[in-house]
Chain A
Amino acid sequence: MEKLSNKILQKIKEEKIEPKPRWQFLLKNYAFWAAFGVSVIIGGLAFCVVLGILVDNDWDIYRLAAENPGKKIFLSLPFLWILALVLFLAAAFYYCKRTKCGYRYEVYSIIGLSILGSVILGSIFHFSFGIGREMEALVAEKVPYYQKFYSPCNDRILWLQPEKGLLAGEIIKISPPNSFDLKDFNGSFWVVKKDEDTFVLENEPLFEKEEVRIIGKQEEEKVFRAKEIRPWKKKCPALEKGK
């Protein structure tokens, strides 16, 4: 019986089989590491948006505005972005496992490292560059369906409850020293009064055409006393088009 080594060598020679070049293996390995890195970075972007939404969330007004604050808070959580984060963490795990030495790492260490990477990158993106808000605004502009979940679009109704102490709209005219005219997002006109105790978050002094949200108390028909004034969020693309 012919020796196996002879048969194999014969086949190698007859079929002119050659060892594959090393660069092919290196390229494949680097491609998986690169895909792992990209997944962590995209996961970081998703986390950055999650962070932006959570930081900007109107946590304190749900108790004023909603009949069921717990449910409202739950529904305000950015599930789509959390899902995106989870998907990219899964992708990072998959690519890491496909690298040459990926099998040596335990599941929890890869997942832990990916989460840590995404959280650190996401925090840098959010706190240093404010990328999260811009990215979410861009998605809302390009993907109309997303506007259903975009707080600048769907929180308007929440802030148009003057009887519950919430009002939002555009400043029409500043009347120094302590009042301004406001056109709310429903198109109604209001006189908003403020005093020295009124807390104005960012953008002091207020300016005309600025969009604001106000916590306070309705004093009379179309007269509102402000306790706190905050700038409105980003523009809602659907409403901007309709203007």
Chain B
Amino acid sequence: MTKEECAQKTDEELVALTLKNQDFFSCLVERYEPKLRRYIQRISAATQEDAEDLLQEIFLKVYRNLRDFDQNLKFSSWIYRIAHNQVVSAWRKTKSRPPVIKFGADEDFLKFIATDEDLAGDTERKFSDEEVRKMLENLDHKYKEVLVLKFLEEKSYEEISDILQKPLGTVATLINRAKKQFAKIMEEQGIKF
């Protein structure tokens, strides 16, 4: 199947086709590889090689569990959930410290800081790498994770609920608390918009 043909199919159609012919799975892999690679690197301290291994494991798990995909969910939510669980599982296996979320001076993240209603301020304000790093280092891991999904992966509350397998209300609370903690950290560090 060519790239163009793949692009014309929805995720759900590709799932159905893959169950008939495994070659179609490559379309799904190619569609989600860059997104998941970026997501893995955002929520873990994975190196390029680690991310590659994790991606392989994730896609194989997706393939094995393809018949478990619930059509009531978005396929993207389902695959992100598997990726999230796989990262957490790898982190537990190695018994390393909780994954460090690397926002760096991510432009998207800076955009969020500048435009979010709760943190609104002078949108012209520029943040240094060091400032962002300092703020994020002090944010709880559970908050960093929802911030990644909400503001970097641009997922809706419902999608985050399906990915993290938490009720909608809990997701809303986490995001709200994350924003508050973020604002507090900025205040403590004397960073102003």
Contact = CB atoms under 8 A, between A and B. Distances in A.
Chain B interface residue number, banded: 20 to 34
A4 B165 CA distance: 28
A160 to B, nearest CB: 56
A22 B19 CA distance: 11
Given A5-B26, A9-B25, A13-B22, A19 B67 contact: yes
Contacts of A3: 30
Q: Is the interface of B mostly helix, strand, loop or mixed?
A: helix
A3 B26 CA distance: 10
Interface string B58-80: 01100111111010000000000
B26 A9 contact: yes
Interface in B19-67: 19, 22-23, 25-26, 29-30, 33, 52, 55-56, 59-60, 63-67
Given A8-B63, A20-B68, A103-B161, 10 more contacts: A5-B26, A5-B29, A7-B56, A8-B25, A8-B56, A20-B67, A21-B67, A25-B67, A104-B168, A106-B167
Interface string B149-178: 000000000000100011111100000000
Nearest to B27: A5
Interface residues of A, number: 23
Interface of A: 3-9, 11-13, 17-22, 25, 100, 103-107
B60 A11 contact: yes
A12 B29 contact: no
Contacts of A6: 26
A8 B63 CA distance: 10
Interface of B: 19, 22-23, 25-26, 29-30, 33, 52, 55-56, 59-60, 63-68, 70, 161, 165-170
Q: Is the interface of A mostly helix, strand, loop or mixed?
A: helix
B60 A12 contact: yes
Contacts of B167: 103-107
A13 B23 CA distance: 10
